[in-house]
Amino acid sequence: MKRNIGAVAVTAIAAALLCLVAVGVVAWRAQRALGGARREVARGAQPGLEVRTLEPQPNPGFERIDGPGNFKSFLMYQGHLYLTGRSGLYVYATDGTLEHVFRTGIELPAAPLGQLAVGMLTGAHQPELLIATFGAGIVSFDGHTFRQILGSRVEAREVTAVLPLASGRLLIGTAKLGLLIYDGATLQRFHPTTDNVYVTALAGTEGDLWVGTLNDGLLHWHGGQTERIGEEQQLPDRRVEHIAIAADGANAGRAYVGTPMGVAEMRDGKVARVLAKGRFAHALIADGDSLLVGQMEAGILRVSLAGPETNSNPRRPIRARVDEDLSAAAENPIHSRSLNGRAIAVDFEPRPISVEQFLTIGDNRYALLSDGLLKQGQDGSWRRILGGGSSDLADSNVSALLAASDGRLWIGYFDRGMDVVPATGGKTEHVENEHVFCVNRIVEDARHGAVAVATANGLVMFDRDGRQKQMLGREAGLIADHVSDVALYGEGMALATPAGITFLDQTGAHSLYAFQGLVNNHVYALGASGNELVAGTLGGLSLLAGEQVRRNLTIATSGLKHNWITGLAAVGNEWLVGTYGAGVLRLAANGSVTATDATRTGMVVNPTAMVADGRMVLAGTLSQGLLVGDATGTRWRTVTAGLPSLNVTALAVRDGVVYVGTESGLVKISEDRLQ
């Protein structure tokens, strides 16, 4: 009996010990998990993952108005040339014939397309074409089917660079989360040292990786650690545009880093020397004993790598150790000739040329421009072999629209001036100069047969035929040169500026700002009706009569959900108010502000991207497509299918046709199709 009691006691003690061990293990695991969770919180949540097959989206009736390709990247894949642009993926035969365009918003997500790469990813059955998009993650294409590799976090979808690895994994650079890695099953952050930077370029291998950033210089990952190389380490600029690694020759393995102030040659992880000093090096390719440098608006530069570069003056037409300075070309070839043993360029087309990418295919060298592709001949000259289509439009990044009463379409761009498209065919007129560059708003003044163009450099007046007549800035009495909106008011007009409102009439220019009662100096939008003027500012709404502020509305004094006002559209005796962060609100005639169906937290209405014509109200959003309201702005719906981009930046309506400008092109649709 005692033996049995002793056995029971031993068993109980052993069980207790086992319980203590188990509790300790559980506690250790919990503490470890908690520590991991804390570390994860400190870094930010992992981006998550969704992989899905892409099917064409139904188009409600949008017709694209052909614009330039705005090419960003190109590769040879399955015997065809693939080029990405803002509004689609262009497929060319090797003879330059355009075979197909996969359109953003239809076959592809409605997001700008960027860098291309070819890689054999884990789980794939063949090498795929990999397409970086800014807003829709990675799109892969096997020649037949598109699939989308999509992070669950919005920040993971803003892809800026890709690098397939030999292991089957894919490095993904983003604008906000830094560097991510996809292994076929998960999407994770690469390493804490590469988190939360804006990645611009990737090159190298998994064990010896170069990461270019927008503001944080160059990151070099090797031996399981990251070294940062910035201006203190002699990098020409902390902004990295491109990274190229020499594949052969005496310079094999060396990395070349392009920046706005020159190219850094990297040896043993350090800056050995700076080439092409002062040049904006946007694209690079190591070509044997020389380096091809694609510049912003300055063509192609060939730099010898045989010995040190001694001359750093970028303005001299003949440079030491520079063989060719090519301000490259369109239809005519660009030749070079020898002078004292060094070659200089003879440019047959003086317009600025920006190079996006170089590529070597076999023995041939190619240079991608935003509007076409150049091929280098045996004599060293560059000849255009394909263009961006038959478009007469200057750009695809639309910022302002006017459908004029004479049928002409005026198109303003963010940084390419303005186009005037004739109503019945004919040549499109392009206007681009020191004043007409960044266009914010275009308004027709039928009373005086004029068109007012608000720009970042002043107000430019045109006649009905599109001839520039007058330029008005601070010297003409405006309170600021930057004009963000125009409203016809009284016998003249009111101009919105970052410093207040300037009124123009027969008596001249006179201004109103915060000192006289304006709720905020930074005015984004104006709306006029009779003697009343509504000003949307960074700090709320100001209601004016006879150029005097009679009432201010803010989130503290009214039903406004956001103080930053970006757009105004008149509906009867009321106003619909677009905001930067709360969608669309309603301003009644008595000054009360109420919500609408389109009042949504986080929704951004783009500046001046609102219009009403008595049949419907339209509002363009930053990333959620087109808001379509009924005639009173009571019922709203969102339209995304068929748009080249979900960033709708400009709107115009005329004779039952709606024109929709986006960051990736211009479309039109019958008003009936939107109702």
Identify the CATH class of 230-390. mainly beta
Question: What is the reported pLDDT for 307?
Answer: 61
Span of 32-41, 132-141, 269-278 with lowest mean pLDDT: 32-41
Residue 149 is inside which H or E element, if any?
Answer: strand 146-150
Please report, for residues 96, 369, 371, the alpha-carbon distance to residue 387 in angstroms, rounded to integers and kept in the order given: 9, 9, 6
DSSP string, 491-502: TEEEEEETTEEE
Q: Report which of residues 411 and 323 the model is more confident about.
A: 411
The residue whose two tokens read 């619909």 is 576
For Cα atoms 179, 73, 391, give the angle at the middle one, nearest 5 degrees. 135
- Beta strands 532-537 and 208-213, pairing class: unpaired
What are 317-368's pLDDT values in tens digits?
Answer: 222 233 344 443 333 333 332 222 233 333 333 456 789 999 999 889 999 9
What are 584-623's pLDDT values in tens digits?
Answer: 999 999 999 999 999 999 999 999 999 999 999 999 999 9
DSSP string, 391-459: ---S-S-EEEEEE-TTS-EEEEESSS-EEEE-TTSSPPEEE-SSSSSSEEEEEEETTTTEEEEEETTEE
Which letter, b or e, does each residue of 576-592 get, where b requires 16 or more Cβ atoms within 10 Å of its Cβ? bbbbbbbbbbbbeeeee
Question: What is the reported pLDDT for 87?
Answer: 86
DSSP 157: G
For Cα atoms 356, 361, 363, give the angle at the middle one, nearest 5 degrees. 120
DSSP string, 187-205: EEE--GGGBT--EEEEEE-
What are 248-278's pLDDT values in tens digits?
Answer: 777 888 999 999 999 999 999 999 999 999 9
The answer to whether 649 touches 35, Cβ cutoff 8 Å, is: no
Confidence of residue 69 (pLDDT cuts 50, 70, 90): confident
Longest Cα–Cα distance in the chain: 119
Span of 35-49, 167-181, 362-376, 419-433 with lowest mean pLDDT: 35-49
Span of 150-159, 167-176, 380-389, 550-559 with lowest mean pLDDT: 380-389
Phi and psi torsions of 593, nearest 5°: -120, 125
Say yes or no to pLDDT of 409 above 80.
yes
Say yes or no to pLDDT of 671 above 90.
yes
Mean pLDDT value of segment 546-562 = 95
Question: What is the reported pLDDT for 45?
Answer: 66
Q: What is the strand order of the sheet 429-431 is part of?
A: 398-403, 409-413, 418-421, 429-431
Would you call 516 helix, strand, or coil by DSSP? helix
In CATH, the architecture of 399-674 is: 7 Propeller (2.130)
Confidence of residue 426 (pLDDT cuts 50, 70, 90): confident
% of the chain beyond a pLDDT of 90: 74
% of the chain beyond a pLDDT of 70: 86
Sign of the Cα torsion 284, 290, 296, 297 reads negative
Mean pLDDT value of segment 72-90 = 94
Question: What is the reported pLDDT for 390?
Answer: 54
- Least Cα distance to 182 among 492, 173, 496 occurs for 173
- Least Cα distance to 540 among 555, 559, 551 occurs for 555
- Least Cα distance to 652 among 474, 410, 477, 486 occurs for 410
**73-225: CATH, from 3.40.50.920, 1.20.120.80, 3.40.50.970, 2.130.10.10:** 2.130.10.10
Q: Do 73-225 and 399-674 fold alike per CATH?
A: yes
Which residues, 6 or more positions from 659, have their beta carbon under 8 angstroms from its beta carbon? Answer: 401, 403, 409, 650, 651, 652, 653, 666, 667, 668
Say yes or no to pLDDT of 4 above 60.
no
Confidence of residue 13 (pLDDT cuts 50, 70, 90): very low
Question: What is the reported pLDDT for 354?
Answer: 86
Question: What is the reported pLDDT for 351?
Answer: 53
Which residues, 6 or more positions from 511, have their beta carbon under 8 angstroms from its beta carbon? Answer: 477, 478, 479, 499, 500, 501, 502, 503
How far out from the chain centre does Cα 613 lie? 30
Question: What is the reported pLDDT for 306?
Answer: 82
Residue 269 zone, left/alpha/beta (φ > 0; ψ -120 to 50; rest):
left
pTM metric for this prediction: 0.83
* DSSP E strand boundaries for 255-354: 255-259, 262-267, 270-275, 281-287, 290-295, 300-304, 322-326, 335-339, 342-346
Sequence spans of domains, the chain? 73-225, 230-390, 399-674
Mean pLDDT value of segment 67-74 = 89
Say yes or no to pLDDT of 17 above 50.
no
Structure tokens of 412? 């303003």
The answer to whether 569 touches 586, Cβ cutoff 8 Å, is: no
Burial class, 457, CB count within 10 angstroms (exposed 0-12 / middle 13-18 / buried 19+): middle
The answer to whether 305 touches 291, Cβ cutoff 8 Å, is: yes
The answer to whether 291 touches 263, Cβ cutoff 8 Å, is: yes
Mean pLDDT value of segment 207-226 = 96
Average pLDDT, the chain: 87
The answer to whether 109 touches 54, Cβ cutoff 8 Å, is: yes
- Least Cα distance to 86 among 389, 439, 431 occurs for 389
Question: What is the reported pLDDT for 308?
Answer: 54
The answer to whether 83 touches 69, Cβ cutoff 8 Å, is: yes
Question: What is the reported pLDDT for 346?
Answer: 30
Which residues, 6 or more positions from 575, have their beta carbon under 8 angstroms from its beta carbon? Answer: 527, 534, 568, 569, 586, 587
Say yes or no to pLDDT of 67 above 60.
yes
For Cα atoms 191, 195, 201, give the angle at the middle one, nearest 5 degrees. 95
